[in-house]
Chain A
Amino acid sequence: MRKLSIATAVMCLSAFSMNLSAQTFTMVDETLPSPENEPAPVHPVPSKRQLMWNETEFYAFFHYGMNTYTNKEWGNGGEDPNTFAPTKVPNPRQWLTAVKAAGMKGGIAVVKHHDGFCLWPTATTTHNVTSSSNANAKQTNIPDSFAVAARDLGMKYGFYVSPWDRNSQYWGDGTSNYTNKVFLPQCVELAKFGDDQFEMWFDGATGGDQGYHGGAWEARSISNATTYYDVPNLRDTVHAISPNCVMWGVGDEARWIGNEQGWAGETNWAMGSGEYGSETGWYWKAGESDAKATSAGWFWHSGESPKSAAELFKIYLETVGRNATLILNFPPDKSGELPATDVKVLQELGTMMANRLGTDLAPQAKLTVSEERANGATRNYAIRNITDQDKDTYWATNDGTTTATITMEWDAVRDLYYVSLMEYIRLGQRVKSFTIETSTDGEHWTKCPATTTTIGYKRIIPLCGTTGSYRPVKARLLRITITDSKACPTLHTVSVY
């Protein structure tokens, strides 16, 4: 190291608090107090906004736009704005009301798909609703009406905006013009529709097909979506306006579950990629499963029909019940509303959800546990915390204990269908495997045949062993044995239905 003048050295010492004359490093001897005796986090852990996003659990996707009127899934960007001709003023309140009946807590509205047609009066392009000659189109402002309706209904909301824009002359032209002049400003406009948004959805398409591109009709592509769209600063900007808005996909705060069939792995970590995630992933990126509730495409197509409530309930169990969120697509039709058949099946699904998962028997059970963590100054880690309906209290074992047994006992034999477990993921996803057993007498136990590996935010185990059946197991006792965990397990809720 070069010798310093005294003046410089004093300056550096005061600025950096470094001991420049030290030859070896002297470790700081620092122990932080732990009056509440909380377990150390198992990293990675979710951010506050990721936690809030996870709690949304089940929400809707509404694919609506130019494709609704062209019978396409991907428009090429050359569509005449007059083609967007709703027969009524689009009604997001009807969409959200319908999906709320099914138990959904929010929704994501597509406001610009790959064709580039914007469903709000944006300043970034003339290819938007205001350019249509249709009177209903001119009254259309999906982001605004969607956000207002969601707030009125007490639901969460967010927007899908396609980075790929086959209408824009700038997209993929080898410059930064598209990102700087079109895409980032569009995202800012959308963020400003509400600082309470929970998710912004970016499809990762990087082009390749021919598009209109201002009349050039070229096949364009980009090689690196993250740098082209400047995702880090997109994220920074949106968070500055809407701090709890998770950036999906390329935004790196929530991941695609790896399929569009509506299932996640029974082993599913909130890190890594795909259906199963990775136990060793270094950052939190929980899975979101996007699935179609109807028989045709993501957009509405004539003659389509919805899946049955039973099929949708199975999807729910295999996504929300496997540590993923579920974004279930219901496409509005040309009237700008959800078809009556879709509304009906949503009501049926809501009824089924209420019937099957609406009555939690756990609070009625006597609880015993192999170990409870020592109390802190003002909080405890007692087993009763798992049935108190408070997501901020939790049960835990002492440090070093990575196995545990929780037993629930009712006063009489009951018909049991599902067990739902939720980890206190603010401290990281910890449980690696567990078992569930039932008994009528406390002496003879039957092991649930389902695969019982990870838990995560939520895990719903069908006691009959399969998500496709609704059969009870008769039991007076239910025993949950955590057989392996990265550290002391933490559960905030266990429900039995």
Chain B
Amino acid sequence: MKAKHILLAISLLGSAGLQAQSISFEKEDEYTSLSVYDTWEESPFRTGGISDIHRYVAVVDNPDKEVDEFLGTAPNPTGKVLALQRSRYGSNTFGARIDLPQPIRLGTATRYVHVLIYKPEGETTPVLLTALGKRTDWPYQSREAEQLWVKSASDIVAGKWNDVVFPISTNPNVELHSLVVVPDLSSPHNRTTDFVAYIDEIEVSDNSLPRYSLSNYPVNFDKGQAYTRTDRRFTKISVTGAGSSAQTISFGTQTVYRDLTQTHFISAKAGDVLTVKLSQSGVWMSGYVYVDWGNDGKFTPLLNGKVPADGSDLVSFTHIDGYNSKGAATNGNNVSNGVITCPSFTIPQGTPSGVYRMRCKVDWNCADAGGNVASDNTLIANGGGVVDLLLNVHDDEVKISSNQLNGDVLNTDSTTLVSRLIPYGKSHTILMAPAPGFTYKGIVLRHGYNLDGERFVRDNMQWTTDTIAASRFREDNTFTIPASYVNGEVRIEGLFDIGTGVQSPASQALSKEGTAVVTDERCYDLSGRFLTSSSPKGIYIQNNKKYINN
């Protein structure tokens, strides 16, 4: 399916009865006029310092119809787009003005303006949407009143088409006559040249999620965003399953977003009922838990009435529009003694074992996993937080196997460990049996899921490799694999070697050349060949040191 068709399909799905309005710049009747606008009252674009302001915009060929490597499709294959010359004489709110043939009336609902924006490499500031309009019941009022300003939640990716979503709301008596897209919200005071930004596929709909994302698991702010409030912090997650003790994860609070997926996971089985508690200093905040069941790189919240629908990635919440995920009424003040207790949820029966991205969010009245972006209730301003970790959905038993040359890995009963099942999360002891003439240097353990696949899928770590040196084995050549390594399939590679050669102590330097210390541990014959255990037996002297190869 071409991207344009994808956009249309999503638009229709998201509209839910309200017709989407769109501007693709493919037809002239989609707008009545194109120009520029600057909220700065002393802008030369307003004072007449620059007179022919229309020259700063034009509908041109799409400069980038290429397939995006990450998406696997072209995010914007359309023919025409709007180009804007970002003038260094405009303020940080200078943008392209699109006058609409039909005004937008939002009513009482929040709607979402989607805009595709393309900026050259090196230009990564947030972008802004402004709208001009008037009240319908004030005939004397100009259409030029600024009705809203909405900043993008985060920087966009330069050199690519980005789908930026702006939540907009107005008084029901307001109609919007013009949209202004500001592609560069930074001050231009150090600029010596202008640049061209491109705008396309403007759509007003009820779809709060981007039509596509250029990254997995996005948040609606920069991931390095520091807390802006001192009185609120999201500090701890505690997950409890039926009959099991709580799994607790505490984390630092330097940044609003924390990615703990490479260090922390929650273990559970299909059918388990989990209760998540979020520790939060502050009041009038709510908790939200997501699991990406489809492993598609995003959290898709689906509601069936007031509660999560089957297959929803939003699995638990304490407050959305007055109700929690069990359908119970709430006022949203869900912090009790510093803890938000999210309603329990069940891992669906039949969920395949594997890792799933899990997100815990403290926010206010917001199903969007990226965080509330409503201008009067942003997650940042409210002191919320977002933490990602992995949910390990496992079976009771996991497969353990070994595969190597020059020796065997045995079970403790001395049978060869080829492949068997062992209990999940329990330690397991193995025995090393080198082939004659060989010894072992240790083992390499790969454990987790999809061991033959990429280590990271959608940024989710599937497996880990750990090397266990021989020195950590017992004298009887046994080693107990820690329980924490038995977190999925376990694959052992025994490291068997024909010998260690003739080695000198590692701490000894064999010679000095000038000021450089040569720390070669090995011994060489007169021809410069490295001596190993297969070299001729005998006693060798090097730099007044004796080495024995027996």
Contacts and interface: CB of A to CB of B under 8 A. Distances in A.
Interface in B117-159: 126, 128, 134-135, 137-138, 141, 145-149, 151
Interface stretch (A1-9, A321-329, A364-372): A1-9
Contacts of B376: 224-226
B305 to A, nearest CB: 20
Query: Which range holds the interface residue count of chain B?
Result: 35 or more
A20 interface: yes
B194 A25 contact: no
A22 B135 contact: no
Contacts of A44: 91-93, 187
Interface stretch (B26-34, B206-214, B501-509): B26-34
Contacts of A230: 135, 170-171, 173-174
A17 B54 contact: yes
Contacts of A358: none
Interface string B30-58: 00011100001110100001101011111
A23 B61 contact: yes
A20 B59 contact: yes
A1 B134 contact: no
Interface in A370-408: none
Contact of A42 (B58, B148, B172, B187): B187
Contact of B171 (A2, A47, A176, A273): A176
A377 B135 CA distance: 46
A266 B61 CA distance: 51
A16 B35 contact: yes
B55 A17 contact: yes
Interface stretch (B77-85, B257-265, B337-345, B481-489): B77-85
Contacts of B59: 1, 18, 20
Given A47-B41, A236-B141, A228 B171 contact: yes
A19 B58 contact: yes
Contacts of A48: 41
Given A16-B33, A20-B59, A282-B185, A233 B28 contact: no
B54 A18 contact: yes
Contacts of A45: 40, 42, 91
B190 interface: yes
Contacts of B79: 1
A66 B55 CA distance: 58
Nearest to A280: B186
A335 to B, nearest CB: 40
A282 B228 contact: no
A233 B187 contact: no
A164 B229 CA distance: 26
Contacts of B42: 45
B196 interface: yes
A272 B134 CA distance: 27
A4 B189 contact: no
B54 A233 contact: no
A1 B228 contact: no
Given A227-B170, A278-B228, A487 B27 contact: no
A28 B128 contact: no
Contact of A17 (B52, B128, B135, B173): B52
Contact of B189 (A27, A41, A179, A225): A41
Nearest to B89: A32
Contacts of B172: 176
Given A32-B50, A40-B189, A232-B147, A226 B28 contact: no
Interface in B384-422: none
A8 B28 contact: yes
B110 to A, nearest CB: 8
B169 interface: yes
A16 B56 CA distance: 11
Interface string B162-173: 000000011111
Nearest to A232: B147
A223 to B, nearest CB: 8
A12 interface: yes
A188 to B, nearest CB: 11
A227 B57 CA distance: 31
A78 B245 CA distance: 54
Nearest to B25: A1
A27 B196 contact: yes
A2 B26 CA distance: 6
A264 to B, nearest CB: 15
A227 B28 contact: no
Given A44-B92, A232-B148, A2 B196 contact: no
A43 B92 contact: yes
A232 B128 contact: no
Contacts of B52: 17
What are the 7 closest A-B residue pairs judged by CB atoms, nearest first? A230-B171, A25-B83, A17-B54, A43-B187, A43-B92, A236-B145, A40-B189
Given A32-B49, A227-B108, 11 more contacts: A2-B28, A28-B55, A42-B187, A180-B173, A230-B174, A233-B138, A233-B145, A233-B147, A282-B93, A282-B126, A282-B151
30 contacts: A1-B25, A1-B28, A1-B79, A8-B28, A16-B33, A16-B35, A18-B59, A28-B56, A30-B89, A32-B50, A42-B189, A43-B91, A44-B93, A48-B41, A176-B172, A224-B169, A226-B375, A227-B169, A230-B135, A232-B146, A232-B148, A232-B170, A232-B171, A236-B141, A236-B145, A236-B146, A282-B126, A282-B128, A283-B93, A487-B189
